[in-house]
């Protein structure tokens, strides 16, 4: 396995995954603030929340893109990027559904970190399984190509 190649590609794709929501939500917020008549107090509250609203999906998508890329490019014959992205996203979705995020409340929930840790743990587990399966397949392929193995 070539983890340095996988990490380089993972960082590049994580950056792409980070930029997609930033660009989309940035354009949507510009539309919201410039083309709509909003109460100044509401605008102030929206601007105060904007970094969190943009940062949360950006980090989530960056981690999914990065882990899917690591699973695709670290082993020599890894699964295609889209297939690994679908598998890791499905595992993350299962983690989100299991936690069932509660609606936003004004009070702080002491167990709010579960909503981040469980889906991220599911994504990391799916990535580890994909890497393990790809590593075993490449190891079996290397053993089968060995002429001295007969």
Kindly report, residue by residue over 91-133, the tens digit of the pLDDT: 888 887 777 656 665 555 566 666 777 888 888 899 889 888 8
Task: Please give the pLDDT value at position 104.
Answer: 60
The conformation of residue 101, written as its DSSP 8-state character, comes to: P
Res. 75: pLDDT tops 50: yes
Contact 101, 115 (CB under 8 A): yes
CB burial readout 14-34, b (16+ within 10 A) else e: beebbeebeeebeeeeeeeee
Residues 17-56 pLDDT 10s: 999 999 998 898 888 888 878 888 888 888 888 888 888 8
How crowded is residue 129: how many other Cβ atoms within 10 Å of its Cβ?
14
- Residue 10, φ and ψ in degrees, nearest 5: -65, -40
Considering the entire predicted model, what is its pTM?
0.74
Q: According to DSSP H, which parts of the chain are helical?
A: 3-35, 40-73, 81-99, 114-144
Return phi, psi of residue 26, to 5°.
-65, -45
């Amino acid at each position: 396995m070539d983890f340095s190649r996988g990490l380089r590609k993972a960082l590049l794709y994580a950056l792409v995954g980070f930029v997609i929501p930033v660009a989309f939500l940035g354009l949507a917020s510009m539309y919201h603030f410039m083309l709509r008549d909003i109460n100044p107090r509401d605008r102030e509250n929206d601007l105060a929340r904007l970094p969190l609203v943009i940062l949360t999906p950006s980090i989530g998508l960056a981690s999914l893109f990065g882990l899917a890329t690591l699973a695709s490019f670290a082993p020599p014959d890894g699964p295609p990027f889209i297939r690994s992205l679908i598998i890791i996203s499905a595992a993350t979705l299962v983690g989100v559904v299991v936690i069932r995020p509660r609606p936003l409340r004004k009070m702080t929930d002491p167990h709010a970190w579960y909503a981040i840790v469980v889906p991220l743990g599911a994504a990391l587990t799916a990535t580890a399984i994909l890497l393990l399966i790809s590593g075993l397949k490449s190891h079996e392929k290397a053993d089968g190509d060995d002429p001295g193995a007969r």
